[in-house]
Structure 1
Amino acid sequence: MVVCTAVFCSVLWGSAFPVLKVSYDELQMAQDDTIAKIVFAGVRFLLAGLILLAGLLIFNRDRLRVTGKQFMFLIIFGIIQTALQYYFFYNGLARVSGMQGAILISSGTFFTIVLAHFFYSDDRITAKKAFGLIAGFAGIVAANWGQDFELSFRFTAEGFMLLAALTSSIGTIMAKELAVGIHPFTLTGWQLTIGASLMLMIGVPQLGDHAITFTPLGWGLLLYAALLSTTAFALWYSILKFNKAGEISMFKFITPVSGVILSAIFIPGERLTVKIMGALMLVAIGIIAVNYTGARRRSRGMRRS
């Protein structure tokens, strides 16, 4: 059940790439309309955050209680982990393919490994992790290699996707260091609600006429995007509570794999190529390498416990 749940969460996160790309076309959002992307992201994550907080209010309202100091952290965390990260993500994804975006965003796993090396004395970069980093970043470079064997890089496209991944990694370190005493569901619910509210406060007053044209399919895609965030986060944190983070995180290699495959299926004009498949394999190998602990090490840990 743990393996199935981890795989299910990773597939859900992977499905976000084609869903958002199709949403942009369905809602007739211009590629360069930054404000429309901010508003769309704000509505999605406000829905997701409120669903989580409402669930806590109904089933375990004690977990909603936070101190003043914790709430100040939640405000900062919401700005960085939701508002800033998804500003980069939504606007970057509008300028790259769904398959390319799925591979680029996976760089967050490797950024986290590098940051952990400097923050934690017991989490240094080993030879195994170095191999994983090299393989992973090689895959990301390969995904951006053009048909003419030239590296394609635009700051507001590929650059924004990498910044989204880096911001997510910084948020991961912040959550581990500062979110003391805050339940993961509470942290996620407030983080999404606060960050999304900021995005809407900035975006709605500047939203142009007809910048977003909602259709029944558009509303359905928005609702699915909100529910996938709520479901994936809730299930992921549930299995993390009872299992080792390193062993569970290994399954995140499925996110770029499912993102690429689903993009090829659902986004018109996108198809799997030898270059994309090679890049995807390198990224998957890298994620597995930096997270895999090995049966021998796991058995030693079980004997010690």
Structure 2
Amino acid sequence: MSTATVSDFHAAMTSAGGPLLGDVEFQFLRDFVYKQCGIALSEQKRQLVQGRLLRRLRALGLKDFAGYCEVLRRDPEGELGELASAISTNVTSFFREMHHYDLLVGELLPRWLEAKKHGGRLRIWSAGCATGEEPYALAMVLAEALERTGSKVDARILATDLSPQALEHARGGVYTLERMGGISDERRRRWFLRGEGRYEGAACVHPRLRELVTIQPLNLLHDWPMHGPFDAIFCRNVVIYFDKPTKQRLFDRYAGLLEPGGYLFLGHSESMYGLSDSFELVGRTVYKKKVS
């Protein structure tokens, strides 16, 4: 193929679907994303990355991917959240993988609240909280356990994510009725306020749930400001994006923040097999930190 023909092809593609993601720019993005997010992008992901990042180019007023790469070089932290949000898929729902909540309600929360009734803190971390459904579902079962037992234990949920859009949604706490399918009618009445006016067809989480949840930005691969210890960490459908060495480092760090005998919850398609000696499998994608 002649140079003129290649140029004509690129021009046609650019005018038809936006600028092309060239080899140099894609390799830069692959290296950047792996270093900053631990996500390994294969060559097969090029078209997906190109399509999803076109919106960022338009939002930033950039004409090509070379310009976007330059933005990342100049201000990696400023654009990192937007980039990670664009290339990952935040699929979440209320009470997803219900067996995890059944374990909390039936066994763990009563045990923890009893053990801590004379002092101590109960802490749960939702790592990769996306748009907030997970931490608010956790807050529902926690609030119900506190009410049921009359406990005054200092109990809180930390919710973190890298995506600015997801965190904004989580902080707003407003969800369409279609996204609340996993919530029982009783819990809808108890823990949500029906929206009116511009929020018609949506509902807002109850202020009591907001009191229990702290929402903060966090890159799991960077420094963590919190020191724990946590009684449980939920990291579901997050490590599917990471390669083996990144998973191993992350699980080791989780073990360092968990109480002895603390619990780590993974997603339904995730496993810790062969990745850590600090945990033992105690249920479906439920791992318990070993007590040395």
TM-score category (smaller protein): under 0.3
Give 1 or 2 for the bigger CA radius of gyration: 2
TM-score (norm 2): 0.24
Given the two structures, how large is their TM-score scaled by the length of structure 1?
Answer: 0.23
Between Structure 1 and Structure 2, the one with more strand by share is 2
